[in-house]
């Protein structure tokens, strides 16, 4: 890395300016057409002078355009900040949502590295009501994209009862139950997410049971398929083992437990996610060997690995 590349990589001005634009929804406000600074500030509930300085900065970087010193329009780069743009970038960058919660956690990275963990954990059990709703929305958006790929990657016809542990607002179960109507599904989630999940099930026209509460305080229903998607990386090893052991206890004979987590095949992405789990607290990314070790400690062995066309790899564990 050259000094210039180091400077560009460590610059916080552009990332924060983009996040403020995302939070104020400036792209959506300009989507219908150009606005003056005063008009845009009124819509965004921002100070006109400060907003003009932000807009000039972002215009110089291609996100917005200007025809006069006081009128701004949506630029090509700014279209990725539209609320309905593919990838949900705006929602992830919104400083008032879960993405902002993650970003702020990194400002405590020095203390986290010195202490071996964050002062306050940032996983779902410790989030505010607003951050929890934002987290659920972001995870649901991802699951809606990846859910059909999970339904296609393995033969779900061999199962009857599927339990999605920590399945958010049920987007993944909706995909499975829609593709395989014979399946009976149960969502296990924290109480804050249940009402939205039930609404989503009703809208999708699928029948699905719900079990509200903390996983470690619940007795799981018996099933021949358990799905844990982006869940175990939120736990340290002892809790990950306990979670798998609870699923194993409720697993019907011949059933399977599916662990869906990021692959360690791309070191840079894997290391980034691992650092994120450090600053959020109580979790870690794991290599394939490490997941096998955690599963073995819970009395399970790996049967297969599946690679959906979208989403994380799927590890199938059996008794």
Residue 146: pLDDT band with limits 50, 70, 90: confident
Distance CA 200, CA 194 (A): 10
Q: For residue 294, give the nearest of 242, 255, 230, 249 by alpha carbon.
A: 242
Distance CA 156, CA 312 (A): 18
pLDDT of 117 reads: 83
What kind and span of H or E run contains 257? strand 251-261
* pLDDT > 70: percent of the chain: 97
Q: For residue 165, give the nearest of 250, 105, 95, 89 by alpha carbon.
A: 250
b/e string for 73-93 if b means 16 or more Cβ within 10 A?
Answer: ebbeebebbbeeeeebbbbbb
Distance CA 138, CA 262 (A): 17
Distance CA 260, CA 312 (A): 6
Mean per-residue pLDDT, 205-221: 94
Q: Hey, is 70 helix, strand or coil?
A: coil
pTM of the model: 0.86
Distance CA 290, CA 298 (A): 13
CATH 3.40.50.150 domain locations along the chain: 145-264+281-318
Catalytic residue list: 233
Contacts of residue 157, defined as CB under 8 A and 6 or more positions apart, other chains included, come to: 180, 182
Q: Where are the beta strands (DSSP E) in 11-160?
A: 35-36, 64-68, 71-74
Mean per-residue pLDDT, 240-250: 97
Q: Are 201 and 231 in contact (CB under 8 A)?
A: no
Mean per-residue pLDDT, 94-110: 89
- Tell me the average pLDDT of the chain: 92
Over 60: is that where the pLDDT of 122 sits? no
CATH 1.10.10.10 domain locations along the chain: 3-86
Structure tokens at 52: 């003009």
Query: What are the CA-CA distances from residue 44 to residues 16, 25, 26, 303 (Å)?
Result: 17, 7, 7, 53
Mean per-residue pLDDT, 136-156: 85
Q: Where are the beta strands (DSSP E) in 136-222?
A: 161-165, 184-189, 208-212
Mean per-residue pLDDT, 32-59: 96
Q: Which CATH class is domain 145-264+281-318?
A: alpha beta
**Tokens 């398929």 -> residue:** 225
**Tokens 């009395």 -> residue:** 299
The C-alpha angle 57, 60, 62, rounded to 5 degrees, equals 115
- In 10 A of CB 48, how many CB atoms? 16
The CATH code of domain 3-86 reads 1.10.10.10
Over 70: is that where the pLDDT of 89 sits? yes
Q: Are 252 and 184 in contact (CB under 8 A)?
A: no
Q: Hey, is 65 helix, strand or coil?
A: strand
Mean per-residue pLDDT, 160-177: 94
pLDDT of 125 reads: 64
Mean per-residue pLDDT, 268-276: 91
pLDDT of 21 reads: 98
Chain centroid to Cα 84, Å, comes to 17
């Amino acid at each position: 890395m050259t000094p210039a590349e180091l400077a560009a990589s460590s610059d916080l001005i552009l990332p924060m300016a983009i996040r403020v634009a995302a939070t104020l929804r400036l792209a959506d406000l300009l989507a219908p057409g150009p606005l003056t600074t005063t008009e845009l500030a009124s819509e965004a509930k921002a100070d006109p002078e400060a907003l003009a300085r932000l807009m000039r900065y972002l215009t110089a970087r291609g996100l917005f355009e200007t025809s006069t010193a006081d009128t701004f329009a949506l630029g090509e780069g700014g279209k990725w900040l539209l609320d309905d743009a593919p990838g949900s970038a705006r929602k992830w960058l919104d400083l008032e949502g879960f993405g902002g919660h993650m970003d702020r956690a990194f400002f405590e990275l020095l203390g986290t590295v010195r202490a071996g963990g964050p002062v306050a954990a940032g996983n779902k059990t410790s989030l505010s009501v607003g951050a929890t709703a934002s987290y659920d929305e972001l995870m649901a958006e991802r699951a809606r994209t990846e859910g059909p790929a999970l339904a296609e990657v393995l033969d779900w016809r061999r199962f009857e009862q599927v339990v999605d542990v920590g399945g958010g607002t049920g987007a993944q179960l909706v995909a499975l139950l829609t593709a395989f109507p014979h399946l009976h599904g149960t969502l296990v989630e924290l109480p804050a997410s249940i009402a939205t999940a039930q609404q989503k099930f009703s809208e999708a026209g699928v029948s699905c049971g719900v079990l509200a509460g903390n996983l470690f305080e619940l007795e799981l229903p018996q099933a021949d398929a358990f799905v844990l998607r982006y869940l175990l990386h939120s736990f340290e090893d002892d809790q990950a083992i306990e979670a798998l052991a609870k699923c194993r206890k409720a697993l019907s004979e011949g059933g399977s437990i599916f662990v869906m987590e990021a692959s360690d095949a791309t070191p840079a992405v894997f290391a980034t996610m691992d650092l994120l789990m450090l600053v959020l607290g109580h979790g870690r990314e794991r290599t394939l060997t490490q997941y096998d070790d955690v599963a073995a400690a819970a009395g399970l062995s790996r049967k297969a690995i599946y690679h959906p066309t979208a989403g994380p790899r799927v590890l199938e564990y059996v008794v």
